[in-house]
Amino acid sequence: MDTSRQIARRLLEVGAVKLNPHEPYTWASGLRSPIYCDNRVLLSFPAIRTEVVEALGAAAGAVSDVQGIAGVATAGIPHGALLADRLDLPFIYVRSSAKEHGRRNQIEGRLETGKRYLVVEDLISTGGSSLKAVDVMRAAGGEVAATLAIFTYQFPSAERAFQNAQVPLYTVSDYATLLEEATAAGHITEADAAALADWRQDPRAWSNAYEAAAQ
C-alpha cells in the first residue's frame, strides 16, 4: 500500500478526519463543510505518530539542501518539531502574528539568514496560514525550500496560490485518496463521495446550496 493510502486510513481510523455531507460542520469562516480534519489527534497515538513522521521524513527527501524546519503555529509545531528531531535539523516556528508582550517575536527560535527551511503544516486548506509564514520568514532573511503537510484538501485555488508564491508543496496524503479509502471502508456511500468531491471544487457554492436547501 502506498503512503498516501496508509496515512488516509490512519486519519479515518483515529477520527482525525470526520466526513458528514448530510450534517456538515461550520468552519470559522462561516462556510459549511462536509469534512472536518484535526491532525493533532494523531499525536495521541504513538505508533501512528511515528508512521506520520516517517512519511514526512520520506517526503522531505524530495527537497534538496534543507537546513532547517519551520513549523506553522499552532498545529504545525508538534509535527514540525518531530520531523526536525528525526532529521537532526534546527527547528523554529512562526506565529500568525507577533506577540504583544516580551520580545514581540513572530518567529520563535533562531532563524539563520540565507538558510533553506522546509515549512511544515498539518493541513492545507486555502494555504493562507502557510504562505503567510513563508512571507514572514522571507522578510526575516530566510529562504523557503518548500512547504510540507500531512494532508491537503486539494483546493485548486490553494494550489494556484503556492505556485504564484513559488513555493513547492508536498503532502503525504490528500483529499481524493481519503475519499477512495473512506468509500472502500464503508465510512461513506458512493453518493456521499460524489457530494464530497463536488464540495472540493467549489466549497462556497456547495455551502450556499446546502444553506438554501436547509431553509
Is 95 labelled as part of a ligand binding site? yes
Q: What are the distances in angstroms from CA 133 to CA 27, 110, 155, 190?
A: 21, 15, 19, 38
pLDDT at 31: 87
Distance CA 80, CA 70 (A): 7
Is 101 labelled as part of a ligand binding site? yes
Is 114 labelled as part of a ligand binding site? no
Beta-strand pair 143-152/35-37: unpaired
Q: Is residue 33 part of a domain?
A: yes
Q: Is residue 215 part of a domain?
A: no
Is 123 labelled as part of a ligand binding site? yes
Beta-strand pair 68-72/25-26: unpaired
pLDDT at 158: 93
**Helix (H), strand (E) at residue 94:** strand 91-94
Task: Give the model's confidence band at 25: pLDDT under 50 very low, under 70 low, under 90 confident, else very high.
Answer: very high
User: Measuring CA to CA, which residue among 153, 158, 87, 93 is closest to residue 120?
Assistant: 93
State the CATH number of the domain containing residue 92. Answer: 3.40.50.2020
Altogether, the residues listed in the chain come to a count of 215
Task: Give the model's confidence band at 1: pLDDT under 50 very low, under 70 low, under 90 confident, else very high.
Answer: low
pLDDT digits (tens, 9 = 90+) for 191-205: 999 999 999 999 999
Q: Is residue 159 part of a domain?
A: yes
pTM above 0.85, yes or no: yes
Task: Give the model's confidence band at 99: pLDDT under 50 very low, under 70 low, under 90 confident, else very high.
Answer: low
Q: Is residue 122 part of a domain?
A: yes
- Per-chain mean pLDDT for the chain: 94
Is 188 labelled as part of a ligand binding site? no
Is 124 labelled as part of a ligand binding site? yes
Q: Is residue 88 part of a domain?
A: yes
Count of domains observed in the chain? 1
pLDDT digits (tens, 9 = 90+) for 139-191: 999 999 999 999 999 999 999 999 999 999 999 999 999 999 999 999 999 99
Range of the domain at 110: 3-210
Distance CA 115, CA 133 (A): 15
| Helix 175-184 / helix 190-201 crossing angle, nearest 10 deg | 170
3-state secondary structure of 169: strand
Distance CA 210, CA 203 (A): 10
Q: Which residues, in sequence order, are CB contacts of 163 under 8 Å at separation 6+?
A: none
Is 13 labelled as part of a ligand binding site? no
